[in-house]
Structure 1
Amino acid sequence: MTQQDDRRALVVEDDEDIRSLIEFTLGTQGFDVRATESGLEAVELVRTFDPDLVTLDLGLPGIDGIETCRRIRELSDVYVVMITARDDEIDRLLGLETGADDFLSKPFSVRELKARVNALFRRPRRGVGVGAGPAPTAPVPDHEVLEHGPLRVDVDGRRAFRGAEELSLTRTEFDLLTELMRTPARVWTREALLRSVWGTEWASDTHLVEVHIGNLRRKLGDPSEKPGFIRTVRGVGYRMESLEA
């Protein structure tokens, strides 16, 4: 696990004042910070600098934040906080669907930025991510392994499988699946998942849960007919679907 004083952050923002503010804020939290106003340069910095956190402006010149996030996700499962001046639901959906872990709208307070970053880093960061390497022939003896029908999650190795196929999940999707599979009969409210996975209790963020659950369902290969692997309990939240005959 990365030590706090070794954490690295990349700030991708074309507004100089906001870029400087984010750089300073993250620097006071112990991050080694690099910054750029270019999406293309950001992708290269993710490759060479290997940050633990990226704050990513949506409205970048050249390739925008959506495309930048998509390219970053091909290289890394780094935490991505997308930042935008536009209050457009479509933008938020696209950002989350391309792998952003959280979303901040301008103007935002330094306190809110710090709180969101701290919440992300309270989540487990074991292993180097999900989706690389061959499937193990057997679990490592002291690893926590969860199973639900054809789904298998190696919690400590941060790898998820459907049958023999390893699933390429983002860090957030992996954490959601782990929480649901640990207590498959439990109905999780959106607020409870926010507290457990995101470390936040902001009620307005329940939409984060809905979007990431939708992305997770698609990657699990849920059938189009309901309920699939994850059941929506109307008016409450989500639980794993019983697979018993």
Structure 2
Amino acid sequence: MSTPSDELKTAVIIEDDKEIRHVLAEVLESSGFSTVSVGNGIDGVRAVLTYKPVLTTIDVNMPGIDGIEAAKRIRAQSDTYIIMLTGMNDEADVIAGLGAGADDYLLKPFRPRELRARVEALMRRRSADAERAVPPAPAAPSQGSVGPSFPGMRPTTTAVPTAPAIEERDLATPATVIVPAGAASVPATVDTNGEWLTHRDLRLHPENRIVLIGGEELDLTRTEFDLLATLLESKRRVRSKADLTLVLRGESYVTSYFVGEADKRAVEAHMTNLRRKLGESAANPRYIETVRGVGYRLTSEG
């Protein structure tokens, strides 16, 4: 039986700067991907629909439609993992990119090692998602099964001039997850059928990936769903930004790891988008509260 790591991995690069396209292609190909490079958002959306990539990188500032709009169009039709690349160190732009459906982001200039680490984290997360997925009804296995095919021409890398060498340094500082002992008195509850996680009028089905508030379904990104599911499963136990970073990397049982400020900002941005979709009030949160200087947890039921 094939696993995600056994499949042909294709990545689409949407970037108008030729040198950066070249660097992205080199890093991704060294990580085992076949790459397709395009220079604008419109062609990028078409490339994703044609080649059905596992991973897509999108530059925020491009001619025609920008990266935010391209991400929205792609996310509406594809479950590819999206990494946004931006030179704008502004929280509003980061929130907009992640709110458009991106799974992660990088600030330019980036180091190849940092991109490689984030790609590897997304692929670990993909493998973890596949392991958690409920298998379909049993069927007779076929002999000589192969991985997915891709329509159109075989993916190729756009030929561009060699980019200047980029210095690689350590991308983050070491940190350790500290998990507070015990849980507060009022936890989220699990329905008796063992499937739905609930808190107040919020209900989440981990396997079917459905979220309801008062019976109305919410449209969450993959990352927003995973963050919410983690908080519901943790009941009233506080989850730090570093801890939640591990969850998104598929490393939730590792206690010593590397985490950077970009990881923490990404969690903050995802949480801002999640709270907005939940209709949360920052002054009087109904579902998720911030434990200042520590992390996040569910509010009390009282």
TM-score by structure 2 length?
Answer: 0.69
1:170 aligns with 2:221: yes
Flag the structure with higher helix content.
1
Separation in structure 2 between the aligned mates of residue 220 and residue 91 of structure 1, nearest angstrom: 20
Q: RCO higher in 1 or 2 (8 Å CA, sep ≥ 6)?
A: 2
Contact 2:91 2:269 in 1 (8 A): no
Separation in structure 2 between the aligned mates of residue 196 and residue 55 of structure 1, nearest angstrom: 21
Separation in structure 2 between the aligned mates of residue 204 and residue 7 of structure 1, nearest angstrom: 26
1:76 to 75, 78, 97: 78
1:231 to 274, 285, 289: 289
Please name the residue that 2:29 is paired with.
Answer: 27
Unaligned runs of 5+ in 2: 135-190, 252-257
> Bigger radius of gyration, 1 or 2?
2
Please name the residue that 1:179 is paired with.
Answer: 230
Separation in structure 1 between the aligned mates of residue 32 and residue 241 of structure 2, nearest angstrom: 31
Q: For residue 215 of structure 1, what is the amino acid of its counterpart?
A: N
Higher mean displacement: 144-153 or 115-124:
144-153
Contact 1:4 1:30 in 2 (8 A): no
Please name the residue that 1:133 is paired with.
Answer: none
The structure-2 alpha-carbon separation of the partners of 1:32 and 1:166, relative to structure 1 and needing over 3 Å to count, comes to farther
Separation in structure 2 between the aligned mates of residue 8 and residue 24 of structure 1, nearest angstrom: 13
Higher mean displacement: 215-224 or 232-241:
215-224
Report the 3-state secondary structure (helix = DSSP H, G, I; strand = E; otherwise coil) of the residue aligned with 2:259.
Answer: coil
TM-aligned CA deviation for residue 69 of structure 1: 1.4
Report the 3-state secondary structure (helix = DSSP H, G, I; strand = E; otherwise coil) of the residue aligned with 2:4.
Answer: coil
Q: How many corresponding residue pairs? A: 232
Separation in structure 1 between the aligned mates of residue 41 and residue 284 of structure 2, nearest angstrom: 39
Unaligned runs of 5+ in 1: 129-138
Matches within 5 A, 1:118-197: 118-123=120-125, 124-126=128-130, 145-197=196-248
Contact 1:12 1:54 in 2 (8 A): yes
Cα deviation per residue 1:52-76 (whole Å; 9 max; x = unaligned)? Answer: 2111111211111122112222223
TM-aligned CA deviation for residue 212 of structure 1: 0.9
TM-aligned CA deviation for residue 105 of structure 1: 1.7
1:95 to 94, 97, 118: 97
Cα deviation per residue 1:92-143 (whole Å; 9 max; x = unaligned)? Answer: 2322232222111222121111101111222233469xxxxxxxxxx9x8x8
TM-score by structure 1 length?
Answer: 0.84
